[in-house]
Amino acid sequence: MSRANTPLLEVRELKVAYGGIHAVNGITIDIAPGELVALIGSNGAGKTTTLKTLAGLLVPGSGQIRFDGQNLHKVAAHQRVSMGIALVPEGRGVFARLSVAENLLMGAYSRSDQDEIATDLARMYALFPRLVERKDQLAGTLSGGEQQMLAMARALMSRPRLLMLDEPSMGLAPLMVKKIFETIREVAAQGMSILLVEQNARLALQVAGRGYVMEGGAITLSGAASELLGSDAVRCAYLGG
C-alpha cells in the first residue's frame, strides 16, 4: 500500500546529457497519487528528455528518480512498465503494421491476467468507440487523432499508476485536440496520476492541478496551474500575451 502523503514520483536533481549537451540540468519534480501535473515549456526545453528518462529510455547522468518509494536507478525501461509507469511518446509510436487490436494487446504485454486484460480491452473500446470500428485495421492506416487515441488506450492497457503523455495535441485538428483532452480529464477523474507535457500551455494548465515551467533544461517556475495561468511571466512567454 502506498502511503497517502508520500509522492508517487519523486525526481531529485535529475541531470541528463543528450548528444553532448545537458538537455536536463538538475530538475526536481514531485507527483502525488491522483495528481495531474503539467510540464510546459518551449521547444528544446528538455521536456521530452525528462519523460524519456523517467520511462528508462535514457540514462541520467546524475540525480534520483523514485517511484512509489523505490529507486529506479537500476530498473530497465521494460521493467518500469510492470511497476506502473507508462509513456505515450511524442509522435505516438503506434505499431503501424500491427492491427489496432494487436496494438492494444501489446499494451498489456507485461500482464498475464487474461480475463482482466479482456475486461480492460472492452473498457478501452468503450472509452474510444472509434477504435472498435477499426480494431482489425492496421494502425498505420488510422488518422493522426485516431493514432493518438490508440496510443493512449494502449498505454492504459498496462494499468499504469503514472501515465505520462508527451505532446498529445501535436499535429491534431482542434476538434480532435478537444476530444483527447476530454479523455485526459476523464482518465484523471478516475484517479490516475498523470504527467502531461505540452507545448500548448494554456490547454495543459486548464486540465492540470499543478504545473512546472521548464526552460533550458531547468525548472524556472512551478505552482498551482491556476496561478501559472494567471502569472505574467507564463502569460508572456507561453500563452501568447
| Alpha-carbon span 44 to 172, nearest angstrom | 20
Instruction: For other proteins, give the closer residue by CB, 147 or 193.
Output: 147
- Report the Cα–Cα distance between both ends of the chain, in Å, rounded: 45
CA distances from 206 to 168, 181, 187, 202, 230 (A): 15, 10, 15, 6, 11
Q: Tell me which stretch binds other proteins (CB under 8 A): 5-13, 82-90, 118-126, 208-216.
A: 82-90
Binding flag, residue 84, other proteins (CB under 8 A): no
Q: Name the E strands within the chain.
A: 9-18, 21-31, 36-40, 62-67, 70-71, 85-88, 162-166, 193-198, 210-215, 218-224
- Tell me the C-alpha distance between 39 and 49, whole Å: 12
Please list the residues that pair with 218 across neighbouring strands: 215
Question: Taking CB under 8 A as the rule, which mask of x and - marks residues 136-165 in contact with other proteins?
Answer: --x-xxxxx--x------xx--x-------
Q: Judged by CB, which is closer to other proteins: 63, or 160?
A: 160
Q: Which is nearer to other proteins, 35 or 146 (CB)?
A: 146
Among 17, 32, 75, 98, binds other proteins (CB under 8 A): 98
Stretch that binds other proteins, among 2-10, 18-26, 100-108, 192-200 (CB under 8 A): 100-108
Considering only 57, 118, 132, 236, the residue that binds other proteins (CB under 8 A) is: 57
Residue 32 or 98: the one with the smaller Cβ distance to other proteins is 98
Q: Which of 61, 91, 216, 223 binds other proteins (CB under 8 A)?
A: 91
Please tell me the distance from the alpha carbon of residue 11 to that of residue 21, in angstroms, as a whole number: 20
User: Minimum CB separation from other proteins for residue 227, in Å?
Assistant: 33
Taking the complex as a whole, how short is the minimal distance between the CB of residue 21 and other proteins, in angstroms?
A: 19
Measured CA to CA, the distance from residue 112 to residue 115 in angstroms comes to 9
C-beta separation of 54 from 29 below 8 A: no
Q: Which residues bind other proteins (CB under 8 A)?
A: 55-57, 76-79, 81-82, 86-87, 89, 91-98, 102, 105-107, 109-110, 138, 140-144, 147, 154-155, 158, 171
